[in-house]
Structure 1
Amino acid sequence: MIGGCLNNRYKIEDRIGAGGMALVYEATDKLLNRRVAVKVLRPQFATDEEFIERFKREAQAVANFTHPNIVNIFDIGEDDGTHYIVMENVQGETLKHRIQKQGKLDSLSALKITKQICNALVTAHRKQIIHCDIKPGNILLASEDVVKLTDFGIARAVTSSSTLKQTDTVIGSAAYFSPEQARGDKLDNRTDIYSLGIVLYEMVTGEVPFRGESPVSVALKHIKEEPEPPTKFDNTIPAQIENIVLKAVSKKPQERYDNVKKMLVDVKAALKELEELEKDNIDKSAAETDKEQEETIVMSKNDYPTKQLSNVTDEDYREENYIQSNKASSFCQKNRSLVIWSLVVVLIAGSLVFGYHQVISYFEVPVVEVPNLVEKDLETAKQSLQNKGLQLEIYNRSYNNDIPEEHIISQYPEAGKKVKQNRDISVAVSKGAKLIKVPGVMGKQLREAKVLIEEEDLEVGEVEYVFNDEIKKGLIVSQTPSSNKEVKVDTEVDLIISKGKEAKPVKVPNLVGLTEENAKKRLRDFDLIIGEVKYKKSLSYFEGEVMDQEPKSGAEVVPSFPINLVVSEGIRNPYGSEVHEFNIRVNINPGEEDQRVKIIVRDDNGRRIIYNQVHHPGDLVKQQIVSVGSTVVQVYVNDRLVREQRL
């Protein structure tokens, strides 16, 4: 496929994605000179009408509307059996990969993504289209924080017949099924609301609410069990988000949001509140404390006015001091309560002044910049924070394919933020790559195997079809990796599927000269069938006789192969003359080893060669001849006329 060009317009350049039903390639639209993504139906489904219909439905569902949060469909086509959809080439990653990489998302990011998906669904629902498969794998995160909803492959119109058939219950992802989808009940817009609630739940907790050993067990939990509140996983999740989630995932559709617009109102309100709160925190953290601090002031004694005592004698001093002492003693005795209360006031005032300075000292904690901890090991991260006067707090541990075990997946506040010393920096720590046991799918149909594989966060890889004398057609013969082997998330599982017993070739019998009915019987004897039958006038065969066949006698074909016939409508007789039927015999005399025998007939239908083959001495040639009107038959051996017969 890579290097090819669909309908001489879309040049395939690289494979960028794969699913159980289709492959996605990056391509160039030569006509408009732009980069596009081309989704190609896998070859094994090219003759499956159900899959082709689902594939076309995806393009048709989106073709009638455009929205900045929905992947645009540009074209749909088919080239020599290859069915494809041309769509917008979105640069970025899926929400599924973002959650796997980070463990979970912060509340603001989760709400921003939810808001954009709500906007996309408002447009889809307005056009009477239910997506039916809202999940992180179908949500693309493009540049500049733009979210794109994709894969409308099982979308359906909102009609009285919009139900999910029991035969279709394995289509989609059971982890995000609504209860009505799991039961096969009638669907409406609230089905997408439920699935979006599950996605928001997973974004803020890092987990889906229901898991099980099989899609059926998960579907039953959606019907019967209530999800754990998100705050049970993380008590820092805002109440506004938890309220939105729990309302969206109510078991009864009538208890959910009536429509996506109402859910969008709550999402916007929660988003605004959290954004204002974060802005306030940033302003407080970034503000520098510029309060004046008290300093020790050194002053000259000349700055203080003093009483001049140079003319006072010792006697005067002693007398004055005595008088004053008596006055003070008398004052204290008379005003004892007042003195005591004055001392109390002084002590309280001193305490207040001391406390004020302590508070000022607290708020004057230095502001530092948060270092980048992502992908660092725990010890290095702790040391980086200690160097800044900060502390490390682990709020979550989760599996991650990209970040090694005991290394940081994400942090809050993010690197570069201004915070005060002694603050805790919350981090999510990797538990390493999550190892998953590959489910056993041998002996199962591809559709069932696809669900089992994807429910374990694995992907269907290459699918090959081979003949097998023991395994029934359509069942899986083998898988790689084998069942129960532990592999990383997103590992591809390659499958080999049985084409049934390999049919032994059949030699096509000679049907020329037989009646049409006898030809059909003979074909049945050889396990072959009648193909296309044409009727035309003949120069040599009577009405109803087979005058030609395709493939020719002796060709090898598979059982049930169709054989096309040409059947005579009767002898061509332009003048209504007498029709002659006779045999001619030619003996090959001794002489040259190879002798070419040619028989020529001239009659009302003109001149024609009816026999032309090489024979050897001793051979006997017998040929039936049918002619119309006056007839001349000539026999040539090595271009020498040896007999001529007239009628």
Structure 2
Amino acid sequence: MTAERILNGRYIVGELIGRGGMADVHLGVDQVLGRKVAIKLLRPEMARDPMVQARFRREAKAVAGLNHPNIVSVYDTGEENREINGSFVDLPFIVMEYVSGRTLRDLNRAGEITVDLAIEYVLGVLEALQHSHAMGIVHRDIKPANIMVTSQGMLKVMDFGIARALADASSTMTQTQTVVGTAQYLSPEQARGETVDARTDLYSTGCLLYELLTGRPPFTGDSPVSVAYQHVGEHAPAPSSVKTTLPPIYDDVVIKALAKDREDRYVDAHAFAEALRNARNGIPLPPEELTAVLPQEPAPATVIDYAAAEPEQPFHTGYLEPVAAEQHWNEQPMWEQDRSEPVDDYRAKSKKAWTVVLSIIMVLALAVGGLFFYNWMQAEAARNALVTVPSLTNMTQVEAESKLTELGLVPKSEDVFDDNVKSGLVVSTNPTAPAQVVKGTAVTMMVSQGPESLKIPTSLAGATEVTTRETLKELGFTIGSVTRKNDPAIPAGSLVGTEPSLGSQVKSGSKIDLVLSTGLVEVPQLFNLTEDEARALLSDPKYGLKIFVQTEEFTRVEPGTIFRQDPDSGSTSPQGGTVTVTVAKAPVVETPVPTPTPTDESDEPEESSKTPGEDPDSSDEDSEDILPGVGDLNRFGSGHGFSND
């Protein structure tokens, strides 16, 4: 198993997602912040060039200071010390913002760019350039392939300031590190190997605008060399002549951006953007800002008098030779000169020698141009090679993206509901497998979000509130209100039920209300029940309570029935609590034992001290014994449901 490749102890290097002429781009993960990043690593064979390394580091650090929503951010830079062929080499790397989307090149090829969208996209590019130019950074390689449109519709300019060190192997002209840029978007000063400034980026942006409006670059040719020559010495046709439906008001805006002399272009990106907005609103360029356009015939061939140069001056091939800046339009044609003038034999021989030299140089130039053309054709063939869309069904989104990237396809994703495919797995693709498409084609993956209708798990009954919330959120539900309910079996704070109820089918994303247990039980009415009846009622699962029985003499209810309970009915008791009941018992009545009266026949009967007519057996003391238990009854009063009346 291959060990993970980690840079700076922080960035995990993942699969390859892009490749340029001098660097590879990998998908990575920032372990500290837990986010995806793009990691650009200088190739080992390029890292041996100290000049390339120095420029890579310098430009990366400079671009790291750019902070604009339309610019792909650079998060970090560093070096990786790796062993290559027995020696250790420092490989510089750049950690950048990972952007998922489609490039303007892909959108333009798909025919998805309207005039309005083209203007919006170019305005976004100009905003990014205005910021970078203010920070002293010149991009030097503005082209559709370097501009990304995210899935949210945001525009991101990529490779800011790194184009000087990183070249597009298929279509970028680079020789001895002098000419850098893509041929179809190369400014005249880049083609001549001159120094560049912010107006170089404006020329390339003009080429970009031209292509988005018309569907084709301003200049095309058989090789990058021929295209570069056109940038130097020819003028592109007006955009409205290429696309007849395009309003001619945009012609002047584009032509000014494509001026051969940088002094004739817009002063900065802000001026370019303002002119473009005015054209969109029907306001043409002021006459004083219009750029004169030469006739569309090919420009006269340049003749450079190499014989006039100093003998010691070397002949540089590191850049394209310029078209003569000063064309001698008023110089008298050779055929109108006086033929009677004596011929200088020395000059004639010199001219003949230089003719031979120029012929050799032209042959060499054609050979080099042919080589460029051959390489370009090979690159175009590789770029336009057909690729079979693979079957990605039941792969994870990360696996599917990696598979498409390996094949040179551009992965996109779209969320769908599917009852049969697990959430996070690919359901299908568009185009579907096994369709054949050109490399660079966007393939949309339909990623399952699970079933649209989900069942609320019945297993949540009795679960804690935290567990319930986490489970429902994982299923895609949202939590609504929370209410409390008495329940004899479910602990306090745990789930009694939901609304909609447990076990019901609910649409994904629906709101679920929770009913949680209070941990209490409502005490039932036990009056007039026997002890056995009360015990059976309280032990029912509906209540789950215990009983404690005590007896007391009470005459107003039937003996053996309950006349008092604690807690009272209707109140609450903790789950498994005890209810104390008092059961009535009949009072014990004591029968008085009569005392025998001795009889003496000789004695005279005593006279009664009672009033005549009174019962001789009646007395105040005896009257109290006639109603036994009344005193007990009065002790309870009316508080127990009984009356003293």
Structure number with higher strand proportion: 1
Larger Rg: 2
TM-score by length of 1: 0.41
